[in-house]
Amino acid sequence: MDWMLVPFPRLEWALAAIDDLRREGCVAELMPWNPRDTTWSVRVGGSPDQIAVIRREVEPAPAQVCWEEFVNGLMAGHLD
């Protein structure tokens, strides 16, 4: 079983996510509130495939890279 932590800004959202995740066959439990970053975290356990899908849904997409600009910058010495 794979595990990951998913932060939520509101307790209600975390509790709703736990219900949804459990309906999908995952293990989900509320972690203690973190006052440092003011979030609630849900510990999610599931198959590697389930965790991969969740990770893709909650992690931001990488920024688009314009390869032509990147290569031109390297050639001109503007990027390290």
pLDDT tens, residue by residue, 14-42: 999 999 999 999 999 999 877 787 888 99
- What pTM does this model have? 0.68
CA angle, residues 71, 73, 79, in degrees to nearest 5? 110
CATH architecture observed for domain 2-76: Roll (3.10)
Residue written as token pair 């509320």: 30
pLDDT tens, position by position, 1-18: 999 999 888 899 999 999
Say if CB 7 and CB 40 are below 8 A apart.
yes
Say if CB 29 and CB 42 are below 8 A apart.
yes
Contacts for 31 with CB less than 8 Å, ≥ 6 apart: 5, 40, 41, 42, 43
The rounded Cα 65 to chain-centroid distance in angstroms is: 21
